[in-house]
Amino acid sequence: MSAQVEADVHTISPEMPAMFDGMKLAAVATVLYVIVRILNLKCPTVAPDITCQDTPLNCYLLKSCPILTKEYIPPLLWGKSGHLQTALYGKMGRVKSPKPRGLRKFLPMSDGATATFDLFEPQGVHSTEDDITMVICPGIGNHSEKHYIRTFVDYSQKQGYRCAVLNHLGALPNIELTSPRMFTYGCTWEFSAMVGYIKHTFPQTQLIVVGFSLGGNIACKYLGENPANQERVLCCVSVCQGYSALRAQETFLQWDQCRRLYNFLMADNMKKIILSHRASLFGMSSSKMEPADLSRLFMATSLMQIDDNIMRKFHGHSSIKEYYEKESCVHYIHNISVPLLLMNTSDDPLVHQSLLTIPRTLAEKKQNVIFALTLHGGHLGFFEGAVLFPQPLSWMDKVIVSYANEK
């Protein structure tokens, strides 16, 4: 009996290592397959997809700004993942971010609020020797101290541009609100006040309007609200905005591209900003908030819930639909007559592909509009690099300044 068992053991044992080796190889192959799929390693690097009319001005701009027609090459190992590009931007902003020195300006508003912006003087002479100011509107809840803003400002200064960066109302943690109101999706009051100050203080300067994400919506809405707002404006550049909040809200409830998760994370950040100004927003006598609104804020898990219970009330909108309609640049952007560069990415996890029909259609119909769509870049990422480590300066920074230089 024992001899038979021993014989069986000797018969089976040589096959076991081979079977385990096969399982290991299968597991490794599966992991590699998943990594390749998640990181999109097989995806090619291509030049941006450009939509514009065939006009002499557009041909000149594309020829003079060759970076727009050449391949955008992100870091090889992770740069083709929109999620990783977005995550790195959200966590770090930029690599080795500089610290430009500016002056903080305070502007009293008619409703008691106090707008703030930072002013940075040029660190070189512009190629045309003209006085040109970049007026910059950052993304949601952002300000001049964010790394991606600091990197862009430093680069622009060295190219001879003065920079004025709006600090969204309530975004700076060390600046108290002076009225029961904070920034919203499309309120242009603070941006308008900053531009007015620049025009008055520097009567010879010309303007380049730049908006990132939510700031792109505000910048384009501001220019389209009144033709007078476009005076002395050479051009406008908008990066990674969604154009229509009403259409975007539907996509933010979907799990496609983990958009519902991003919605939750951004809502959590908005709650922190609002609660940091709880005394001003809920305690002042002129506040439009009710105690029940604070309870709803604590329970909110999406930006739409926060917008409906808090944000729309700052400007007296009767519904969230009215709020999104009135504060979206899609209803104003067609009024812009100065050269307009709209930039988005195909792998932006925050901006659904369906929203990109807005800038594409606009560029097809209007001679002054160029729409550039990159295959990679995520949301405000646009990192460049060889294999693993990104460069301090992003592709986005280079494109904006290159485009502005031709105005």
Residues labelled catalytic: 213, 348, 379
Sign of CA dihedral 364, 370, 374, 378: negative
Residue in the block written with tokens 């560029």: 363
C-alpha closest to that of 94 among 138, 152, 141: 152
Q: Which tokens belong to 230?
A: 């476009």
Q: State the CB neighbour count (10 A cutoff) for residue 400.
A: 24
User: 6 phi and psi, to 5 degrees?
Assistant: -65, -35
- Sign of the Cα torsion 359, 133, 395, 273 reads negative
Distance (Å, whole) CA 322 – CA 146: 31
Burial class (CB in 10 A: 0-12, 13-18, 19+), 313: buried
- Residue 221 corresponds to which tokens in the numbers above? 């809405």
- Tell me how far apart the alpha carbons of residues 265 and 350 are, in angstroms, rounded to a whole number: 12
